[in-house]
Amino acid sequence: MLLNPYTELFTYTISITNAFLLGGISSGASYVLSMIFADEGIRHEHKIRRDMDTEVDAQARNQLLQG
């Protein structure tokens, strides 16, 4: 908002509405970038999805714990 008079890269009128819109865009961009990048670099998660029968899984767990 404060850079508008000093640059020709982007121009807009200075108003309360534009201040809220630019603040929202800035906040959204910061959130998206923080979800993509972490301290160690680009975030990535590997999730294993498998369909499992909960009854069989519970029985196997009980057998392993008892045996």
In tens digits, the chain (67 residues) has pLDDT values of 777 778 888 777 888 998 899 899 999 999 999 989 888 788 877 676 666 555 555 666 666 666 5
Q: How many domains does the chain have?
A: 1
Domain containing residue 13: 4-66
Q: Is the pTM of this model over 0.85?
A: no
Distance from C-alpha of 58 to C-alpha of 37, rounded to nearest angstrom = 38
Tokens of 67: 């045996």
* Alpha-carbon 12 to chain mean position: 29
